[in-house]
Amino acid sequence: MELNSLLILLEAAEYLERRDREAEHGYASVLPFDGDFARKKTKAAGLVRKAPNNRSSHNELEKHRRAKLRLYLEQLKQLVPLGPDSTRHTTLSLLKRAKMHIKKLEEQDRRALSIKEQLQREHRFLKRRLEQLSMQSLERVRTDSTGSAVSTDDSEQEVDVEGMEFGPGELDSVGSSSDVDDHYSLQSGGCSDGGYGPPCRRPGRPGLS
């Protein structure tokens, strides 16, 4: 829509410049003679005499249209980069620069849209990758927890001999057995089998009744 408006302004500027040049040189475009056209012109002149206010109203409309066109051109100068010699630009050159600037903006818009779509695709890929890594991490933690529980059960099943506690009856039986072994050891130490001492008589251990 904005491009169409600029094209209309461009055509209007060309028309105004052409008419201004013709007015400066004192000539206008000559049309071929047509009798019907002459009669219509004569009839129209009569109507103008009957309504003298039509000419003045037409001039007012034309003046209003030119003022609006100048306002649009001034607004266009604020939007289009003209460079340091902006005061030398004519209406036609201003409209041509505006057309080029619009094409440049459209190209930048297409490029920005392409970059935006590419970034959206990368964002979706990274999001899926993050979800996959999170699932793998949870599975690894679950596996480590299961292995550590099994190892704890095995260690609890081992018997810690040093940490065992005995009751009074168990300690007496262990102590009496140790005393008997020490008694026979002392008796064997006082005897000699070499012939220099008295022969040693080894009493047998009392049998179990």
Residue found under tokens 């190892």: 151
CA atoms within 13 A on the CB side of 188: 8
Residue 174 falls inside a structural domain: no
Residue 138 falls inside a structural domain: no
Cα 22 to chain centroid, rounded: 60
CA angle 20, 24, 27 (to 5 degrees): 95
Residue 12 falls inside a structural domain: yes
Residue 178 falls inside a structural domain: no
Measured CA to CA, the distance from residue 196 to residue 198 in angstroms comes to: 7
pTM of the model: 0.39
Residue 26 falls inside a structural domain: yes
Name which of 207, 205, 209 is nearest 179 in CA terms. Answer: 205
- Domain residues for 72? 2-111
Kindly tell me the burial class for residue 204, based on how many C-beta atoms sit within 10 Å of its own C-beta (0-12, 13-18, 19 or more).
exposed
CA atoms within 13 A on the CB side of 98: 25
Q: Give SS3 for 205.
A: coil
Measured CA to CA, the distance from residue 54 to residue 64 in angstroms comes to: 15
Q: pLDDT tens per residue, the chain (209 residues)? A: 555 666 677 777 777 777 777 766 654 444 444 455 555 555 555 554 555 567 788 888 888 888 888 888 888 888 888 776 666 678 888 888 888 888 999 999 999 999 999 999 999 999 999 999 999 988 888 887 776 655 555 555 554 444 555 455 544 544 444 444 554 454 554 444 444 445 555 555 544 44
Residue 86 falls inside a structural domain: yes
Domain count for the chain: 1
Helix (H) or strand (E) holding 24: helix 2-25
Residue 89 falls inside a structural domain: yes
Residue 177 falls inside a structural domain: no
